[in-house]
Amino acid sequence: MKHIYNWLLLLLYAILLMACNKELDRRVERGLQFAGENRKELEKVLEHYKKEPEKLQAARFLIANMPNYHSYTSWEVDSLKNIIKSAIPLKGFILKDIKEKWKGVYFQKDSKIYDSHIITSKLLIENIDLSFEIWQNRPWSKRYTFDDFCEYILPYRIENEPLENWRKMYYERYASVLDSLYKGNDVVEAAKVIVNYLKNEGFASNHDFILPHLGASFLFENRIGSCLENCDITTYVLRALGIPVATDYYQISPVFQSRHYWSALIDTTGLPVPFNYTEEEMTRGYYGKRKAGKVFRRMFGVQPERYSGLYTNSTVPALFSDPFIKDVSNGYFRNTIEVTIPAKNKKENQF
């Protein structure tokens, strides 16, 4: 009887795996089609890894999700980045008249430059090779899944920053620091060494303008911005060193009544170790002084729909129809917390 039960489990797993691969095949083909004239660059990557199954799967993961990623560019964004840069010696202070002059700039009106249309096979192959090389040489990597690697180490970008080849640059600057200060196999302790080093490099706080992510090259030399920018710095550095990290956030902070971000190291237990490198010491089991609220994480890969048709329904608010947002509240709360709120105006739709 037990033999039959085990066989049925294996059969079920095989069926699910086939279904997942079929869906990935469909999304990879969509990614290739979306690339248009640049399709040949993506096909070069797939051809390059045809004899390396894991790297091929990693490339397929990136290409399948690539149509959703883009950057913004304009002279206004470039000018504002220069203004922010000039504020570093002043600890982030910018004169009121300058802020007034630029307060009406909204980058969302700028044209989107889609990765699929401009990315090169060279950039993707270097990103994949470096990701695998450093990851496979880290002692803690054996305690993570391939999916963890794809989400928290492999991505070639964060969200809407300029498309750049950043991984080697950050690795060469910080790998020797990590190797000289820590030689153990505890991922949290390794991250703590680098986070403390980053803190000593300094960071100027500035929240004056609404901009896309500033980008790897800019932040490599210019440590300034909001909580989002110090999360981005952490992401570039730790991922380049083979340490899995994500950015978690409150859509509405219980304290600030606005969105608030922090970094979250993904521990070998699967639980987050939250921190803000400019403020908090990284400690297992310590979730900071922030009041509890619903916690979300932006993933690189599309997340499964919680309800069929959710992502394409125009009546669903953007937060809930964003296919890259994952609810990670359970990683922060010891017990499930449910709140029931009566709906005053019920609408006649499935949600």
Task: From 283, 244, 53, 245, select the one nearest 140 (Cα to Cα).
Answer: 244
Q: Residues of the chain with pLDDT > 90: what percent?
A: 69
* pLDDT score at 288: 60
pLDDT band at 15 (very low <50, low <70, confident <90, very high): very low
* pLDDT score at 14: 45
The token duo for 120 is 């090169």
* pLDDT score at 224: 97
SS3 72: strand
* pLDDT score at 307: 85
Residue 127 burial by Cβ neighbours in a 10 Å radius (0-12, 13-18, 19+): buried
Q: What is the pLDDT of residues 307-332, one digit of tens each?
A: 888 898 888 888 888 999 999 998 88
Residue 242 burial by Cβ neighbours in a 10 Å radius (0-12, 13-18, 19+): buried
pLDDT band at 13 (very low <50, low <70, confident <90, very high): very low
Q: What is the pLDDT of residues 29-64, one digit of tens each?
A: 999 999 999 999 999 999 999 999 999 999 999 999
Rounded distance between C-alpha atoms, residue 321 and residue 21, angstroms = 24
Chain mean pLDDT for the chain: 90
Q: Residues of the chain with pLDDT > 70: what percent?
A: 91
Looking at the chain, the number of H-run helices and the number of E-run strands are: 13, 9
The arithmetic mean of pLDDT across residues 176-201, rounded, is: 95
- Nearby residues of 71 by Cβ (< 8 Å), 6 or more positions away: 112, 113, 115, 160, 161, 162, 163, 212
The token duo for 117 is 């249309």
How far apart are the two ends of the chain, measured CA to CA in Å? 43
The arithmetic mean of pLDDT across residues 107-129, rounded, is: 93
* pLDDT score at 16: 44
Answer whether residue 289 shows pLDDT above 70.
no
* pLDDT score at 3: 57
SS3 284: coil
Cβ-contact 197, 175 below 8 angstroms: no
* pLDDT score at 245: 98
Cβ-contact 263, 285 below 8 angstroms: no
Task: State the number of CA atoms in the 13 A half-sphere of 182 facing the CB.
Answer: 20
Answer whether residue 231 shows pLDDT above 90.
yes
The arithmetic mean of pLDDT across residues 93-99, rounded, is: 94
